[in-house]
Structure 1
Amino acid sequence: MQSDMNKTQLFYEYYKQWVDVYKKGAIREATMAKYLMTQKWVETLAPDLLISDLTRTAYQQLLNDYALNHERQTTLDFHHQLKGAILDAVDEGLIERDPTRKAIIKGKPPGVKKIKYLNQFELHTLIASLNLKEKPNWDWFILLVAKTGMRFSEALAITPGDFDFARQTLSISKTWDYKGEGGFLPTKNKSSVRKIQIDWQIVVKFAELTKGMPEDRPIFAGKAKIYNSTANDVLTRRCRECGISEISIHGLRHTHASLLLFAGVSIASVARRLGHASMTTTQKTYLHIIRELENKDVDLVMRTLSGL
């Protein structure tokens, strides 16, 4: 860190410098935005807090103030983003003891979050209504996401070379920087780099669509700025035209996962296909579906046992 830092420095200023030195250029822009938001909250909640006055009590009060308007998980993320900077301040001798030790994470009760997804009939109706032209358009994009469960940025980064039509596989190894200046970026995490199976319909359709296209150029992204809202608007119109539930592009990812789970595909396989870092993420996201399946399993167990 810079030599001008001292114990009389305001905490939010220290944190701002810490983010600039240690995080800028080393993390994804989306993650960087979260650190910058954390810095703004610290400045808002504790504008006069000196780095030297950051005791356990002062830190706990900061967390408590933040938790008043945020859920517990969000407060936990806030805590984790601050902790790295604070531990470095301890190492530099700006703080005598670690004030984050034994911190209590509070927060508002989580709201009821119902995931929007289509049932199998609705998805079939949507796919049948898509206007798949000779050149790539948003309808092609909707089809690919529905059939693969990819994230929006992952699907934008797909190139013809990512398809192995002979083996019916699709390699997902990068994302598209649609929030920034465009161009390829790394995936969300290491688990997001994956190779998934694709069905024969996707093979036939995309083999024809990508014929003659450059192997290393994205199919759906180009020089023009791309907005998530544009794709969502197209999908919303298609849903309305079909008379089915209106969902977002991310809702197609949920639809894909939900249908696989209802079909009996294991949580482990679904997690790998979605590129989740762990099965815990999959379990938390699709808890309501898993509970429904468990109820069906109980009925199956009882029928099996009663037949013995």
Structure 2
Amino acid sequence: MHIKSTEPTPPLTADNNVISWINNYQYLGVWIDSQMKCTTHIAALKERATTRLNAMRCITGAEGGANFNVLRTFYTQAIRSIFDYATPLLIMTTPAQSEALEKAQNEALRIILGAPRWTKTCNLRAEAHLPPVRRRMQALHITILHINFNKGRNMHLLRSIQQCLKQDPALFTKRTWARCAAAGITDTSLQEFFNNHVQDLPHPDYHSKPPWAPPSYTATISSLTKKKSSLSAEELAAQARNALASVPEEGSAVYFTDGSVDPESGRAAAAFVTSEETAFF
């Protein structure tokens, strides 16, 4: 599977056997598609839910049918549980995609309560004490994140989510997993907790200098004349020698960066730390 690729896929072989490319694959019960849009998994959930809703109808009857407690338990254990299983993936679904799961729950509520189709779904959820599917997915997802972060797991994910919480959603519109998780945290008003979950405290020996103190360093940034990919090794070495020759005085330090950039923003940064100063660019 080639994830989010618009280029033609080259043929693959192993031991002279052709390996076919696929657009969908079921991994640990979750359908993953090449565009990472959850469409295949939502369709599979709808099919499984429809089969079990039919089973609910079979055990429902005016005389001798299952009562409210049995039907509600059947729904939570046999139908809602399959929605809960892939919560970390389903957090990326759009409202239109999650609406299909909401309709399945609404159908189950009508079966449980024996309500007509014109009954408002908010009244059905209140009577059955069941939250909307999307709200439950957000709550479960935040609970999973909280458990993992409290145990010190996947801290790089926490930092990504914290960064997204500080970004303006009107400017950063690309749908990524971290942004979808941040949106769910914002919807449940828990952003303050996740922003303060890990504090970046200064070193115990750090003391900020007074504002009238002169700067302890002077920085000069030299850029390459062309893109790094278009320069030969000899040209790169020559530019490095020129950078060293331009150092104005003894006691100066020269740092070379590899040119890595943030793939989303296209920006780069650098920093140096000494016994007296820390600087960021």
Identify the TM-score tier after normalising by the shorter chain.
under 0.3
Q: TM-score, with normalisation over the residues of structure 1?
A: 0.24
Q: Write 1 or 2 for the structure with the bigger share of helix.
A: 1
Q: TM-score, normalised by structure 2?
A: 0.26
The structure whose RCO (Cα within 8 Å, separation 6+) is larger is 1
Quick check: which has more Rg, 1 or 2?
Answer: 2
